Amino acid sequence: MTILRTVYWYVYFAVSLLFKTPELNKVRKQKNNMEQREYEALINKVVVKWAKKQIRNSGARIKVAGEENIPKEHVLFVSNHQSNFDIAVFIACINKDKGFIAKTEMLKIPLLRDWMTELRCVFMDRSDIKKSAKAILEGIEILKSGYSMVVFPEGTRSKGNTLGEFKAGSFKLATKSGVPIVPVTIDGTYKIMEENNNKIKPADVNVTIHKPIYVNALSKEELTALPEKVKEIIESKLKA
């Protein structure tokens, strides 16, 4: 069953991206006749449907708690990063238009990169300090324009339920733009793929959306301690 599910999931992933290309091109042609927000909502609608299908195909069971903690205004979601499935979970399960700070390796995946670009994703090369700084600045401008973003401050997947170091630079996205931070705990996505040597298995995934942190109300000392504070909040909902 696992082998059949795995083959089906990877084949569907590739084929669905291929067949989504005409749909993307169709939406792009409408861009000049739409308001920016209307266009973004249309793109997100298509991507959400696709992400939900990827999750269903994996057999994963997702539970989301704390949706009432998401402010109506645009925010910076800060989350731990367990798996390649985390982005699909964010898209499918958190109802807010948003882009991602993503690693540059995602640019190597044809078609997927096109959709991510339309979602206002920013691609960061963490091996290059100047390019990383440029990506942060780009993300700040997107947040200032009124669009939400997602960042994984560990910078890479943990492939388990432990947390790596939270890079302080990621938090400049909020402190320089003035938007609230919404910490998010993702627990269990690594069991879908990474724990199984990239074979696809059903798993229970818990997503906890914590209360927002309004950075403009923080003291200088609190801003300095912000990465560790957010890490502690996220870690509080990870199973030991």
Confidence band for 116, pLDDT divided at 50, 70 and 90: confident
Domain range for 194 is 2-235
**Distances from the Cα of 174 to the Cα of 27, 96, 185, 235, angstroms:** 31, 17, 18, 20
* Digit-coded pLDDT (tens) for 38-52: 888 888 888 999 999
Give the tens place of pLDDT for each residue, 130-140: 888 899 999 99
Number of folded domains in the chain?
1
Domain-located, residue 153: yes
Q: What is the pLDDT of residues 167-218, one digit of tens each?
A: 999 999 999 999 999 999 999 999 999 999 999 999 999 999 999 999 999 9
* Distance (Å, whole) CA 96 – CA 17: 22
Q: What share of residues in the chain are helix, strand, coil (percent, to 5)? A: 50, 15, 35
Residue 31 in any domain: the answer is yes
- Sheet holding 204-209: strands in order across? 61-65, 204-209, 181-187, 76-79, 148-151, 98-103, 122-124
Contact 86, 205 (CB under 8 A): no
User: Residue 90 falls within a domain, yes or no?
Assistant: yes
**Does residue 79 belong to any structural domain of this protein?**
yes
Residue 5 and residue 93: Cα distance in Å, rounded? 22
Confirm whether 21 is domain-assigned: yes
Residues pairing with 63 in the sheet: 206
Say how far apart CA 5 and CA 81 lie, in whole Å: 24
- The whole model's pTM is what? 0.93
Q: What is the pLDDT of residue 59?
A: 96
CA-wise closest residue to 61 among 32, 93, 99, 84: 93
Of 26-35, 133-142, 230-239, the poorest mean pLDDT is in 26-35
Within a 10 A sphere around the Cβ of 26, how many other Cβ atoms?
Answer: 10
- Work out the pLDDT band at 68, boundaries 50, 70, 90: very high
Q: Taking all residues of the chain, what is their mean pLDDT, rounded to a whole number?
A: 92
Residue 120 belongs to some domain of the structure? yes
To 10 degrees, the CA torsion angle through 34, 51, 182, 179?
-20
- pLDDT-derived band at 141 (thresholds 50, 70, 90) equals very high
Residue type, position 210, single letter: H
Evaluate whether residue 240 is within a structural domain.
no
Please report the pLDDT score of residue 19 as a whole number.
85
User: Taking 80 as the threshold, does the pLDDT of residue 110 lie above it?
Assistant: no
CATH number for the domain spanning 101: value is 3.40.1130
* 197 within some domain: yes
**Angle of CA points 183, 238, 121, to nearest 5°:** 40
